[in-house]
């Protein structure tokens, strides 16, 4: 199935998993909107992906914790490329600290980015997808959305919550032709705060997640893959 000409927004796409997803989508001739909180990083990614791929690329800074900025991001996609077909909610953050040491500001940053930001994105994207007759929302969760660990309470809470959000959402929008998939990776080799700082060699690569995203988008619309767990095949033995 060709994805050429579709329009996608990928949040947090200046580095790591989001960047790999954006690049894979551009290679499929999708028009991609890049975003993160920092405009210079967005500009750099837009420039570099425009040279690499075959799809069009544009970008705008957006902090997914801010509703007005998320609204502007979705409207930017429509202005730049004429509509919105695909939303990848990827932006995420973490603080690895015990609850007694975690500050209220850090708690809010994690929940607002990983959970509330996804709600904002979906709330703005769904009417735009409905007006196109359908679409695809892919939420990047985590295996930390099903497995709890000490020092990860805020991150666990955000990703457990996101799983519930995704599964309620797919039931709401399925008859509008909008599919929702929730990808739950284990360790991925990125600079993700506290998790992927070391290049460990055995972890999933961002490109593997991007390949999964493309394969979901190309899958037959009669089927919706709701939950995907992705693990390193051979994690370091404990």
Report the catalytic residues: 155
Among residues 21, 88, 91, 157, the one that binds ligand NAP under rule CB under 6 A:
91
Count CA atoms within 13 Å of residue 187 on its CB side. 16
Residue ranges in 204-233 that form contacts with ligand NAP under rule CB under 6 A: none
Least distance between ligand NAP and beta carbon 51 (Å):
19
Closer residue to ligand NAP (CB): 191 or 221: 191
Task: Tell me how far apart the alpha carbons of residues 138 and 90 are, in angstroms, rounded to a whole number.
Answer: 8
124's CB contacts (< 8 A; 6+ apart) are 70, 71, 73, 74, 75
Q: Using CB under 6 A, which of the segments 12-20, 52-60, 97-105, 210-218 binds ligand NAP?
A: 12-20
Least distance between ligand NAP and beta carbon 87 (Å):
13
Task: Tell me how far apart the alpha carbons of residues 95 and 110 are, in angstroms, rounded to a whole number.
Answer: 7
Residue ranges in 93-112 that form contacts with ligand NAP under rule CB under 6 A: 93
DSSP string for 14-25: SSHHHHHHHHHH
Least distance between ligand NAP and beta carbon 164 (Å):
16
Nearest to 129 by CA among 85, 195, 78: 85
Nearest to 210 by CA among 25, 5, 14, 11: 25
**Can residue 187 be called a binding residue for ligand NAP (CB under 6 A)?**
yes
Among residues 3, 17, 129, 153, the one that binds ligand NAP under rule CB under 6 A:
17
Check: CB of residue 34 under 8 Å from CB of residue 49.
yes
Q: Residues interacting with ligand NAP, by CB under 6 A?
A: 11-12, 14-18, 36-38, 41, 62-65, 90-93, 113, 140, 142, 185, 187-188, 190-192, 195-196
């Amino acid at each position: 199935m060709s994805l050429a000409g579709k329009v996608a927004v990928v949040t947090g796409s200046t580095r790591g998993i989001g960047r790999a997803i954006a690049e894979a989508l551009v290679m499929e001739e999708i028009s991609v909107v890049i975003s993160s909180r920092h405009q210079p990083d967005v500009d750099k990614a837009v420039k570099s992906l425009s040279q690499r791929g075959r799809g069009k690329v544009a970008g705008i800074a957006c902090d997914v914790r801010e509703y007005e900025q998320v609204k502007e991001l979705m409207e930017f996609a429509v202005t730049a490329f004429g509509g919105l077909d695909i939303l990848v909610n990827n932006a995420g953050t973490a603080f690895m600290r015990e609850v007694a040491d975690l500050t209220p500001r850090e708690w809010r940053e994690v929940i607002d980015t990983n959970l509330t930001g996804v709600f904002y994105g979906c709330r703005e994207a769904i009417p735009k997808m409905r007006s196109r007759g359908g679409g695809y929302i892919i939420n990047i969760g985590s295996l930390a959305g099903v497995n709890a660990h000490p020092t990860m309470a805020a991150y666990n809470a955000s990703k457990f919550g996101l799983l519930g959000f995704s599964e309620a959402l797919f039931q709401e929008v399925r008859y509008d032709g909008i599919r929702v998939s929730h990808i739950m990776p284990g360790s991925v080799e990125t600079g993700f705060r506290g998790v992927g700082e070391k290049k460990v060699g055995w972890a999933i690569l961002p490109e593997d997640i991007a390949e999964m995203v493309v394969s979901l988008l190309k899958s037959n619309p009669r089927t919706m893959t709701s939950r995907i767990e992705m693990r390193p095949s051979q994690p370091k033995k404990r």
